[in-house]
Structure 1
Amino acid sequence: MLSVEKQILYLISSARDIDVKTLVDIYEARDVSPQIIRNSLSRLKKDGYIESTERSRYAVTPLGSEFIQTINRKPLLIEKTWDGVWHMVMFEVPEADRKKRDAFRGGLLQLGFGLLYKSVYISPWDYKEDVLRLADNLGITDWVTIGEGTFVHNGLTPEKARGIWDLDALSEVYLTKREWIRGHFSPSLERLLQEEPLDDRALFVRFLELGETIAELGLSDPILPEELLPAEWIGRSCFLECQQMLRTIACSIPEHSVYRTFVSRITAN
């Protein structure tokens, strides 16, 4: 799913029911064309994430709600204590169903699994419900095996984890994002917050922009427990910095604003 589609799905689930014109108006400020919005809505509907409630209005489906819950749940792992149990997914999908196999592999990587051996993926976190749902949607449950336990020989060290999840490359991503946040985004936001009256639409555009960045980081970062991370790891502090800034933006949008509904999940916490 493209990033704009994920964000539109998030907005629809926040508002529960929304019309196309509202979405077009929102994304006009981000230079996203109306056609891209309509194409995204068509794909989301085709994939079963949203449904038409009436002409040009959409609501999220149970499948769409499950997807949003999965995305929202991953950042919560930052504060979670790991119980030391590893979760494994093994599969052998026939070559004739290669597209399904590739889609399944891509879904596992987005959840945060790492490739231990060929077709053997591991995660310190329990994603079995998400994995089973993904396998079921692709029609490959008979070729997928899920297990959990601990390693009794040749277990994973931070050095091995660094290679399995390519944490060096991910660290570069975080360094680039932190430079952008501190050098560009944050100063621009501060100027915006000092304006009188507050421009709620401009604030909401910043909310969407930062939210998209956080979503990208969440999909790239397996959110490994501290025991498996390098001592110099900056991912956790950078991610939390972005989340705190997102909350600041959400709480700064006036309660009477038409955009307040879309940030209610953030302001309620």
Structure 2
Amino acid sequence: MKPQSLLFTIYGEYVRHHGGEIWVGSLTRLMGEFGMSEQAVRVAISRIVSQGWLKARKIGNRSYYSMTPRGKKRLDEAGARIYKQTSAEWNGKWCIATYNIPEKKRAIRDQLRKELSWMGFGMLANSTWISPHDLAERVKEIAESYNISDHVEIFTSEYMGIGTDKQLVEKCWNLDEINDAYRKFIRQYQPQYEKLREQIIRNQEISDSKCFVEKTELVHEYRKFLFIDPSLPDELLPDFWVGREADQLFRDYYSLLDPGAVRFFLSVFETAPNKK
């Protein structure tokens, strides 16, 4: 795991549920469980601060870090998708985002594409992206944040083409590739889950630190699906969708690891003394 990515996982999974701010020494200790040095942790923090995701607060000779409003929004969005509940019936509407951004703003255009992809949009054609979810307001927020509102258009529409909605999905997302990624996840974590469940049945002692490491790695790995799986409604998924099995495995394994992982985190966690 890369230090910057691990930091996001720790903030999203633990820190944001316990006041949102943490002493850098606690972060160093927590990330040390994954073999990361203090120097590597501090470099990663510095980079995330410079990117606008994290902010620092100094009290005496101690530094405390919390997510910026932008960072909190990203963590909330990620959490909602990772721990998604059963989706409601799809209304048949597509959210369509198009843009015409000048070449002189190419860097911003590239960043917009990354944002759209992360939200679950699929590219239908150059500069035209679609999603079965109502993400119009979120796209507006992103366009405003990059000062490109004049170059972005958003529509909501039904597909009236020659094919079907499922065929439209096939043009925008490689579902076979996503299914294969879920199979790989299951092959990797099913044996670990079965082993842990057996240990619990036999009342074997499992250290809290081990639970913390395994749960964090589990979430970290599962979080990668945010970048490739658009969370399509059931109506648009293929008949055989491995994502359902992978999601159940994630939830079952997570529930076994969570109590010990949280206990370990709290044993290391320190926030500012005047933080309410």
Q: TM-score range by the shorter chain?
A: 0.7 to 0.9
Shift of 1:248: 2.5
Q: Deviations for 1:24-73, whole angstroms, at most 9, x for unmatched residues?
A: 11111112232332122112222332222223211222222111111112
Q: Structure with the greater relative contact order (CA < 8 A, sep ≥ 6): 1 or 2?
A: 2
Shift of 1:125: 0.6
Shift of 1:197: 4.3
Instruction: Give structure 1 stretches of 5+ with no counterpart.
Output: 263-269
Equivalent residues in 2 for 1:46-125, closer than 5 Å? 46-54=50-58, 55-75=62-82, 76=84, 78-125=86-133
Greater CA deviation, 81-90 or 71-80?
71-80
**What's the secondary structure of 2:66's corresponding residue?**
strand
Residue matched to 1:265:
none
CA distance in 2 between counterparts of 1:143 and 1:261 reads: 49
Residue matched to 1:23:
27
CA distance in 1 between counterparts of 2:56 and 2:76 reads: 21
**What's the secondary structure of 1:56's corresponding residue?**
strand
Shift of 1:4: 2.1
Residue matched to 1:266:
none
Note if contact 1:162-1:168 (Cα within 8 Å) is conserved in structure 2: no
Distance 1:63 1:238, change over 3 A: same
1:259 matched to 2:265? The reply is yes
Residue matched to 1:38:
42
Among 218, 221, 245, the residue aligned to 1:237: 245
Q: Deviations for 1:218-243, whole angstroms, at most 9, x for unmatched residues?
A: 22210111111111111122123212
Provide the identity percentage: 25
CA distance in 1 between counterparts of 2:247 and 2:233 reads: 14
Over the residues paired in the alignment, what is the CA RMSD in angstroms? 2.4
The one-letter code sitting in structure 2 at the alignment partner of 1:130 is R
Note if contact 2:124-2:130 (Cα within 8 Å) is conserved in structure 1: yes
Shift of 1:212: 0.4
CA distance in 1 between counterparts of 2:155 and 2:267 reads: 41
CA distance in 1 between counterparts of 2:86 and 2:234 reads: 9
- Matched residue pairs, number? 259
Greater CA deviation, 223-232 or 125-134?
125-134
Note if contact 1:162-1:229 (Cα within 8 Å) is conserved in structure 2: no
Q: TM-score, normalised by structure 1?
A: 0.86
The one-letter code sitting in structure 1 at the alignment partner of 2:9 is Q
Note if contact 2:21-2:65 (Cα within 8 Å) is conserved in structure 1: yes
CA distance in 2 between counterparts of 1:192 and 1:134 reads: 47
Greater CA deviation, 207-216 or 60-69?
60-69
Among 221, 229, 235, the residue aligned to 1:221: 229
CA distance in 1 between counterparts of 2:130 and 2:251 reads: 27
Runs of 4 or more consecutive aligned structure 1 residues displaced over 6 Å after TM superposition = none
Shift of 1:20: 1.2
1:189 matched to 2:191? The reply is no
Q: TM-score, normalised by structure 2?
A: 0.84
Note if contact 2:140-2:149 (Cα within 8 Å) is conserved in structure 1: yes
The one-letter code sitting in structure 2 at the alignment partner of 1:125 is H
Equivalent residues in 2 for 1:123-202, closer than 5 Å? 123-154=131-162, 156-183=164-191, 185-190=192-197, 193=200, 197-202=205-210
Note if contact 2:209-2:260 (Cα within 8 Å) is conserved in structure 1: no
The one-letter code sitting in structure 1 at the alignment partner of 2:234 is E
Q: Deviations for 1:151-182, whole angstroms, at most 9, x for unmatched residues?
A: 22335432331342111111111111110011
Residue matched to 1:9:
11
Distance 1:118 1:253, change over 3 A: closer
